[in-house]
Amino acid sequence: MHDEPKTLDPTARPATTTVPAATTAPPGAAVAGDSSARGRAQRWTLGLVTVGLVLAALNLRPAITSLGALLEEVSAGLHMSGTVAGVLTSVPPLCFAVFGITAPRLARRFGPAAVVCAGMAAIFTGLILRPFAGGTVGFLAASALALMGIAVSNVLMPVIVKRYFPDRIGSMTGLYSMALALGTSIAAAATVPMTAALGGDWRIGLGVWAAIAALAVLPWIPLVRDRDRVTTETRTTTAATETAAPRITRSRTAWALGCYFGLQATGAYITMGWMPQIFRDAGVPASTAGVLLAVTMVMGVPLAFVIPRLATRMKNQGPIVVALGLCGLAGYTGLFLAPAAGAWVWALLLGVSNCSFPLALTMIGMRSRTGAGVVRLSAFAQSVGYLISIPGPLLVGVLYQHSGGWGLPIVLMGGLMVPQMIVGTLAGRDRTVEDES
């Protein structure tokens, strides 16, 4: 899905826990027994981390997509205007921009596993509190708490994979990426029918997702003390990101990547926050509108594997940028002309367009020669990008409220695809930030 983890250095040598070599230990049965016990402990730890990764990834989007499916009921129940509802849909990128930056420092101090455990606990607390908040302010505060947990956990997922599975980075990243897309899609498709089955109260329909978040806390509790995994590599990576930032601002490619990341994130959060409501206002049943959002989100599962591989085989990624952008333009055109008649087609096209996210991450990894350069480019592009994406969902809400329909908001959504294709083409050129800075 989309919203999305910070790119780590793909060329860096993975740090591993130092284990005494067998040749340095005295021979004997005691050594064999000790090695066997150590092996069992390592297998138990890796199994626990695997379960923790899957459960954590399942919880990185339901707080957003479940709200999108019930936005009409939540707005009516809390007496929100269209503008306030727009603010609500702008909270996720704001939290990702603000709190995601703190994740490396927190991991350096407490350990990545401990921070992810705290992140899952924050998601649970926010999800269980927000349905029962007394008003809009309380609802926003509880949502921000859950999103804070999502932000730090989102950033640290690749760190966990690299630390515990240095020889299986691709397969484990694919595993948690699929779990993330699955959680996104299930929350979008199941929230409305589940709410109806539980009596029709939107508060219960939102609060039920806290149960999965509670389960996600459990595997990380035994890993909280695993502080030895915080190594010199983590500290060096964080230091490089912080000290090299001023130079990256002189690179046109870095700014193009930041703008591209921001515009694709804008489209993603507008889609997650408003697409079900667009379909519902066009006469599509609420449950079907949730499934349509799920279809859009689930497109990221197969394409997240295909697009990066294709992009790395091309020197210039501009053609892929344009192809994805044209899919977005076609989808928004369909929403404008016949939202209900071609709903499934528009959902598929917008799902393809939203796969600009893995393309953006792939280009970040290709636009620097060095590992340290990739890390600081990722930090810069994602920070700038999430800040750029904040006004989009809010502006859609304002236009919807003041125009009384979806015509102008959809024109805005489609219009944003044009600058996205332009800056994406610039970012996709065969050059590196070192050439410019």
Q: Which DSSP string do the residues of 283-310 spell out, in sequence order?
A: T--HHHHHHHHHHHHHTHHHHHHHHHHH
Q: What pLDDT sits at residue 6?
A: 44
180-218 burial, b at 16+ Cβ within 10 Å, e below that, comes to bbbbbbbbbbbbbebbeeeeeebbebbbbbbebbbebbe
Please say if the pLDDT value at position 283 is more than 90.
Answer: yes
User: What is the pLDDT, as a whole number, of residue 152?
Assistant: 84
Q: Which tens digits make up the pLDDT trace of 54-90?
A: 999 899 989 988 887 888 888 888 888 777 777 777 7
Tokens linked to 43: 């297998």
DSSP SS3 for 59:
coil
Cα angle vertex 112, ends 52, 186, to 5°? Answer: 35
Predicted pLDDT at 302: 79
The highest-confidence range among 21-25, 205-209, 323-327, by mean pLDDT, is 323-327
Comparing 121 with 25, the larger pLDDT belongs to: 121
**Maximum C-alpha span of the chain:** 81
Residue 15 has pLDDT above 70, yes or no: no
Establish how many alpha carbons lie within 13 A of residue 434's alpha carbon, considering only the half-sphere containing its beta carbon: 9
Q: Tell me the average pLDDT across 341-366.
A: 88
Is residue 349 over pLDDT 90?
A: yes
| Whether the predicted pLDDT of 40 surpasses 90 | no
- In the predicted model, is pLDDT for residue 433 greater than 60? yes
- 24 or 203, which is more confident: 203
Higher pLDDT, 260 or 365: 260
Quickly state the pLDDT bin for 28 (edges 50, 70, 90). Answer: very low
What's the mean pLDDT in 319-341? 96
Residues 66 and 63: their CA atoms lie apart, in Å, by: 6
pLDDT band per the 50, 70, 90 thresholds, residue 118: very high
Q: Given pLDDT bands bounded at 50, 70 and 90, which one contains residue 42? A: confident
Q: What is the mean pLDDT of the chain?
A: 81
pLDDT value, residue 91: 78
Give the CA angle between residues 346, 278, 357 to the nearest 5°. Answer: 55
Give Cα 11 distance to the centre of its chain.
Answer: 23
Highest mean pLDDT among 63-72, 97-106, 112-121, 159-168: 112-121
Supply the pLDDT for residue 227.
55
What is the predicted pLDDT for the residue at 72?
82
What secondary structure letter does DSSP report for 264?
H
Nearest-Å Rg of the Cα atoms of the chain is 22
pLDDT tens sequence across 167-186: 776 567 667 777 887 888 78
pLDDT at 259: 96
Closest listed residue to residue 107, CA positions, set 171, 184, 181, 162: 162
222-267 pLDDT per residue, tens:
988 765 444 444 455 445 444 444 578 889 999 999 999 999 999 9
Does the pLDDT of residue 18 top 70, yes or no?
no
Instruction: Over range 281-310, report the average pLDDT.
Output: 84
Residue 170's pLDDT is 56
pLDDT digit string, tens, across residues 129-146: 998 887 888 998 999 999
pLDDT, residue 23, reads 39
pLDDT band for position 50 (cuts 50, 70, 90): very high
